[in-house]
Amino acid sequence: MKEQYEKLEELLDYYSDNYNNINSDQEAIKQLLHETQEIFDYLPADALQKISDKLDIKLSALSAFIKLIPQLKGENFKHKLTVCSGPRCGAKGGATILNAVEKELNVKPGKVTKDGTFLLVTQNCLKKCKTSPNIKIDEDIYHNVTVQNIPDIIKKYKK
């Protein structure tokens, strides 16, 4: 497992050294996804998160390629839960919120829950700083989130 992630790091170093703006080169992104899949046999969510962080490619763009190209296999999940890791949410207890979500779902960022329901990710600012701390599930944003109301929010998506 560790070896696979080391290989991914090497691959990402290569792409970051050789492409100034990979977002303008769709072929390079497709190639990168194929090469990542060769390492893992599929495209795990946390590998996609690492690609996104290192090369500044939006996760949604990576997902779009996976949907488009039949040979690429993404990880299945029903809902994406995003916890804001931006500074304003951080100042209002964002780290505590992330901890509480991790505990509630029993999963770390970049991973899918065992039952395949949630992918947990973090994002640096959901652009709703005035109502921080915020989390997002799919396209629904929840404002002024507290540790206490996290279970209720999550429960709605479990059915």
Residues at the site binding ligand FES, with contacts judged by CB under 6 A: 84, 86-89, 125-129, 132, 134
Nearest-10 Cα torsion for 83, 88, 90, 91: -150
> For residues 76 and 149, which CB has a smaller minimum distance to ligand FES in the complex?
149
Q: What is the distance between the alpha carbons of residues 143 and 158, in angstroms, rounded to a whole number?
A: 20
Smallest gap, in angstroms, from Cβ of residue 24 to ligand FES? 27
State the Cα–Cα distance between residues 33 and 48, nearest whole angstrom. Answer: 9
Q: CB-wise, 75 or 102, nearer to ligand FES?
A: 102
Q: Angle at CA 93, nearest 5°, toward 87 and 94?
A: 55
Q: How far is the CB of 124 from ligand FES (least distance, A)?
A: 7
Nearer to ligand FES, 113 or 134 (CB): 134
Q: How far is the CB of 2 from ligand FES (least distance, A)?
A: 32
Q: Which residue in the shown chain puts its C-beta closest to ligand FES? A: 86
